[in-house]
Amino acid sequence: MSGAVLHERRDAMELVAAEVERARAGAGRLVLLRGASGTGRTAVLEAVTDHASTQGMRVLRTRCSPDRSTAPLDTVLQLFASVAEFEMAAEEDPPGAPYDRSRSARLWHLLRSSGGRTPLLVAVDDVHFADDASRRWLVEAARRIDRLPILLVVTERSQYDIDSPSTGLAHTLSPSLVHTHTLAPLSANAAAELARSFHGSAPPEWVDDCVRAGGGSPLLLHALLDDLRATSPDSVPAAPVPDTCAALYSGSYLAAVSWWLESAGPATAEVARALAAVDGSGLDGLDDGHRDGCAELLAEMAGADPSRVSGWLTVTTRLGLLRTGPNGQPGYAHPLLRDAVLSGWSAARRKAAHRSAAEAMLRRGDRAEAVARQLLRTGPVGERWATEVLLDAAALMVRSGHSEDALAFLRRALDEPMPAARRAAVLTELGSLEYATVRSTAGIPRLAEAMRLPSPPQGRVRTAVALSTALARQGDTRTAVDVLRDLDEQLSDHPDLVRTVQTASALLSDNDPGVRQEVYRWLRETAEQSPRQVGTAGQALLVRYESTAGLTSAESAMRRIHALLAQQGDPLAEAFLLGTAAAVAQWADQLDEAERLVERGLAGQRTSLLHPMHLALLNVRADIAAARGAYGELLAHPEEWQTARARQLPANAHAHALIALVETGRTEEATRLADSFDLHNPLDSWELNRFLYARGVLLAASGDPAGALDDFLECGRRQSARDVASPVVTPWRTASAECLLELGRPQEAVDLAQEELRLAMVWNTPRLVGRALRVLGTATGGRRGLDLAGRAVQILRDAAVDTELIPALIAQGRRLTAAEERAHARDALREAAERAERSGAVRMRDVAEEALREGGARRTARAHTGAGALTGSERRIASLAAEGRTNTEIAALLHLARRTVETHLTSTYRKLGIRSRAELTTALKGHPTEP
């Protein structure tokens, strides 16, 4: 080890070499080498004695030990006993003899006489362990050797410990009589050089790990390298530095760390192990600062003085054994060092430490999640406070989106005793989270267990709704509805809860056509006899049913929805009412109102609980974005739509993402997404119908009208089986008609387009009517076709429905081209291209430009960016944002939903080529807000 240490101990060696020369000239002195444990004091002393011997000095040396610190003058006697000619003198003063001044004087005269003949080096290692009499003797000797050829070199441990330090050897000596030198920890460069000496081509990451695990201590670093050498005999680092001592072969590193702790004393070792126990398990949750908060916690755990603990943390960090983490809290420099420190405690002792930490943090008022992280590492506490802390922490993690932490806290909470009703609630939340975040089947056993426990009616309904939602999403809709029906008798005294259960049954039945027909038949018959019996949410579901069945208009449906929203509803049924109302409003093209209803519904949802309306609200949000042509928003979170696995049913998010990819020109990605699902013999669901339609859009855009037609017709067949006739959900008829035209079957195309127009007129919104007119005009052709296309453009332009106006303009342009009205055709097609460019609809832009080229027009410019490309709404919102208004304030001023503001700003940033609000003022300069 000495070679590894001495290359950075030149100052110490030069100091001693100079003192050797002074001593040989007859001017002795005490040289005190101080340093923390493991900094190489002993190695330097050995080098000193070797140097003195080569210079002709005689050497007396001894090493003190705590086991021999009680016998008076034991250390001094050991010095003399190490040299043969002194043995007789030492026999006159056997170890253990009582101390007296004459005895001390005889030993001094023995030393002086020896030094008078030959220059003498007296070397004492670890003098802090020497007995008191020997320490006094050494101090007296230091006072007398300044005119003798005697050099006294002593090493002393000077590390900051939790226990108050003992008096240093030289504290009473004049500075002229003693030369003190403190050995510093290894520098990072020196430690890296030592690590690289293990193998010159070691990767930098491996070297850095060694440096951190060595903690600035030559002892620890050398021990680690010895262990790694034993593990890799060829001195080639075959694997990263391990995190646990169990992976090290010979155990030199663990022994070195144990020695370091033992030499520091029991109080310091207790604090060091307490820090190892809590390191990385929630210290970032301490509420009162960084190091001070940690010091107080460790002091409480170990029963130590907080000020001493704070000082120990500071010094140990400077030595390199600890490092300050990103959270401002101290922790061990490497996991291997932490593991070695902690190895002195049994598993039971570690659990006790974590419980002690949890109790201390609770008393201090630290955050619940920090206390809960300690409880994760304890056994059952058996006290109410532990349960409350774990559940509070789980709730906080759910709200902040940290589902994995929430799961851990909820699972741990089940280890604590709690009433059956409370356990059922915890199991319901845990099962819901496991279903949503772990895997689709994981939470069902938890929910089933919760159903078997007694609980209040409301809790029982929540559990049943969660279990039914999970079962329905697994394709077992019949069982899901049966679970809810089984509650009827148990809820006979709670009509409001019965209505909630019935509403949930109706909503979940959407996943099975047969069950859906049964449930809605009962719902319609009951509502005719007693509307109150089905409640406001049930009546809203009937409005939704009639809307999709083509039995009512948008105006009538919204009038009824508004009346239901104005009524006093059941709290548990409110989510069903809001979600259903939002869906109808979106179909009615009341997008801002639909968005407000979605946000209101989501705000009232317990996101940690499985609820059919939570996903329904998210689906409506996606439907709104699709209706606006906000393709970037639909693709903004790839984790929501890039999760397809073989034989997994596609969801609504996949369908919207598929269409958004097609419309933005990312056809290859769309194809990969479509191919990631195996739709052979799939379970039936309305989301599958939506995906079939989306896949049809992809196939049509890819030049496969026959394949697209198959998907569109299958979508229509499945929707018809559900009594879904209206095109408010998916306009499969017009999509099929366009494919039929491509395949040379115009009459079939006309028939389907006419049928869709009839149904669109029933619902009577510009979006549906304009689309149906556009396709019917294309299928009809001639002057009538041109008139129909013109009507479609006018209706859609007046309603500002850009997603449908762009293809309507293209259809009109083509009809005008066919009628030899090329100038008007170019106007329509260029407008379509410009609108498509601004909205990011790459496919539609390309179609419009292709139609322009077919009509003999020049290629249009695509640079529809900059402030001039902003729509009026975008410019107004951007100007307000540039003034410093928040999104919430802008939404209130313009009577818009907050999400609408966010969507417009996202589009604005893209068109202006900027990334933040701070750049808006410059980007908008010279482009005033429209009135």
DSSP H helices, 530-630, are 531-549, 554-566, 574-587, 591-603, 612-628
- 3-class DSSP state for residue 801? coil
Average pLDDT over every residue of 491-504: 85
Question: Predicted confidence band at 750 (pLDDT cuts at 50, 70, 90)?
Answer: very high
Please tell me the predicted confidence (pLDDT) of residue 137.
94
Identify the residue with better confidence: 496 or 122: 122
Identify the residue with better confidence: 226 or 917: 226
Give per-residue pLDDT as tens, 168-181: 899 889 988 999 99
Tokens in use for 752?
């389907």
Tokens in use for 113?
């006489």
What phi and psi, each to the nearest 5 degrees, are found at residue 711? Answer: -65, -40
Residues 303 and 810: their CA atoms lie apart, in Å, by 81
What phi and psi, each to the nearest 5 degrees, are found at residue 332? Answer: -65, 145
Burial class (CB in 10 A: 0-12, 13-18, 19+), 748: middle
Question: Predicted confidence band at 648 (pLDDT cuts at 50, 70, 90)?
Answer: low
Please tell me the predicted confidence (pLDDT) of residue 235.
53
Determine how β-strand 150-157 pairs with β-strand 178-183.
unpaired
Rank 282-291, 430-439, 871-880 by mean pLDDT and report only the highest. 430-439
Average pLDDT over every residue of 661-671: 92
Give per-residue pLDDT as tens, 870-906: 766 778 888 888 888 888 888 878 877 776 787 778 7
Question: Predicted confidence band at 292 (pLDDT cuts at 50, 70, 90)?
Answer: confident
Residues 645 and 676: their CA atoms lie apart, in Å, by 6
Please tell me the predicted confidence (pLDDT) of residue 925.
67
Mean pLDDT of the chain: 87
Distances (CA, A) of 91 to 95, 104, 256: 9, 14, 37
Please tell me the predicted confidence (pLDDT) of residue 931.
35
Please tell me the predicted confidence (pLDDT) of residue 647.
43
Residues 92 and 101: their CA atoms lie apart, in Å, by 14
Window from 499-508, 600-609, 663-672, 811-820 with minimum mean pLDDT: 600-609
Rank 52-61, 84-93, 111-120 by mean pLDDT and report only the highest. 52-61
Could you tell me what percent of the chain has a pLDDT over 90? 55
**Nearest residue to 503 via CA among 576, 601, 560:** 576
Give per-residue pLDDT as tens, 456-474: 999 999 999 999 989 988 8
- The kind and range of the H/E element at 29 are strand 29-35
Question: Predicted confidence band at 84 (pLDDT cuts at 50, 70, 90)?
Answer: low
Give yes or no for a contact between 464 and 487, defined as CB atoms under 8 angstroms apart. Answer: yes
pLDDT of residue 646 exceeding 50, the answer is no
The CA radius of gyration of the chain, in Å to the nearest whole number, is 41
Please tell me the predicted confidence (pLDDT) of residue 287.
52
Distances (CA, A) of 686 to 473, 601, 651, 790: 11, 22, 9, 34
Give per-residue pLDDT as tens, 573-624: 888 899 999 999 999 999 999 999 999 998 887 767 788 888 899 999 999 9
Distances (CA, A) of 3 to 7, 194, 446, 593, 871: 7, 10, 62, 78, 75
3-state secondary structure 704-758: CHHHHHHHHHHHHHHHHHCCCCCCCCCCHHHHHHHHHHHCCCHHHHHHHHHHHHH
Residues 743 and 735: their CA atoms lie apart, in Å, by 13
Identify the residue with better confidence: 865 or 436: 436
Question: Predicted confidence band at 7 (pLDDT cuts at 50, 70, 90)?
Answer: low
Question: Predicted confidence band at 740 (pLDDT cuts at 50, 70, 90)?
Answer: very high
Residues contacting 521, CB < 8 A, separation 6+: none
Tokens in use for 882?
């540039």
Question: Predicted confidence band at 2 (pLDDT cuts at 50, 70, 90)?
Answer: very low
Question: Predicted confidence band at 475 (pLDDT cuts at 50, 70, 90)?
Answer: confident
Give per-residue pLDDT as tens, 692-725: 999 999 999 999 999 999 999 999 999 998 889 9
Distances (CA, A) of 54 to 28, 42, 273, 389: 18, 19, 45, 69
In the beta sheet, which residues pair with residue 154?
Answer: 32, 124
Tell if the pTM clears 0.85, that is, is over it: no
